[in-house]
């Protein structure tokens, strides 16, 4: 009985203490949040931020999405924006691309121009290319394995896959192009063998393969 009374007594004292306390305020949290944001801003590359403002980019969106790019010492805001403008992007489009894919500003202009030439292999013109970049900026600015990408584009063209299908692959299944070309060739050979194993004819195999790749990018 004694320990029950002790618990009840402690419970009453706790209730009394809570009543004496004032209601919680959110100001301390906000103050802390503002302090944290200010501290982060103080570490940002001011030249990068100023250049992004110049192109009407919403810095808050970048801070929320991938704030690390604002901390980078070396960025290429003007160079990347100029490349996009050369392709026909207006101010609104440039800002939108950089807001949705902030890592674009840490890509070297040389690598981006190489990527531009590579994607132009499957685009009718620059207007079509910039539309693809606007829709899929992350796919375009995934700047790696460019030699593999080029060899894979050529391989799919040799298969007589339509450029519109290859461009769809580039944007929605870009990992396929980062594979060594031999891996993709092996995948195609396996598909061809499987087709023949289930009774498909050699004469119809190419039509079947192109249809399969076109429907399942």
What does the pLDDT read at residue 16? 44
Q: For residue 103, what are the contacts with CB-CB under 8 A and spacing of at least 6?
A: 66, 69, 141
Averaged pLDDT in 10-residue chunks for the chain of 217 residues: 38 44 46 45 89 97 95 97 97 98 98 97 96 96 93 95 92 91 94 90 86 75
- The whole-model pTM stands at 0.74
Instruction: Count how many Cα atoms sit within 13 Å of the Cα of residue 189 in the half-sphere of its side chain.
Output: 6
Alpha-carbon Rg for the chain, nearest whole angstrom, is: 28
**What are the sequence ranges of the domains in the chain?**
40-143, 145-217
What does the pLDDT read at residue 4? 37
CA 33 to chain centre: 27
**Strand, coil or helix: what is 141?**
coil
What does the pLDDT read at residue 41? 58
Task: Determine contact, residues 141/113, Cβ cutoff 8 Å.
Answer: no
Cα angle for residues 207, 201, 161 (degrees, 5° grid): 20
What does the pLDDT read at residue 138? 95
Q: Would you state the structure tokens that stand for residue 145, as one six-digit string?
A: 């394995």
Q: Would you state the structure tokens that stand for residue 174, as one six-digit string?
A: 């870009």
DSSP state of 122: S
Whose tokens are 């009374």? That residue is 5
184: closest CA among 161, 202, 203?
A: 161
213: closest CA among 182, 184, 180?
A: 184
Q: Give the length of the chain.
A: 217
């Amino acid at each position: 009985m004694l320990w029950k009374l002790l618990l009840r007594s402690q419970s009453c004292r706790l209730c009394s203490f809570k009543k004496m306390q004032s209601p919680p305020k959110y100001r301390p949290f906000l103050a802390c949040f503002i302090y944290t944001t200010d501290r982060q801003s103080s570490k940002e590359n001011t030249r990068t931020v100023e250049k992004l403002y110049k192109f009407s980019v919403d810095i808050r969106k970048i801070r929320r999405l991938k704030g690390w790019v604002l901390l980078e010492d070396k960025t290429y805001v003007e160079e990347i924006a100029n490349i996009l403008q050369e392709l026909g992007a207006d101010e609104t489009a440039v800002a939108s691309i950089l807001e949705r894919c902030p890592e674009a500003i840490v890509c070297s202009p040389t690598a981006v121009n190489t990527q531009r030439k590579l994607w132009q292999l499957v685009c009718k013109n620059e207007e079509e290319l910039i539309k693809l970049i606007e829709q899929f900026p992350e796919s375009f600015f995934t700047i790696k394995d460019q030699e593999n990408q080029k060899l894979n584009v050529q391989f799919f063209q040799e298969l007589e896959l339509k450029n519109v299908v290859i461009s769809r692959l580039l944007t929605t299944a870009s990992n396929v192009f980062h594979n060594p070309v031999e891996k993709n060739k092996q995948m195609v050979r396996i598909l061809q063998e499987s087709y023949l194993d289930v009774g498909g004819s050699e004469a119809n195999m190419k039509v079947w393969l192109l249809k399969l790749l076109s429907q399942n990018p």
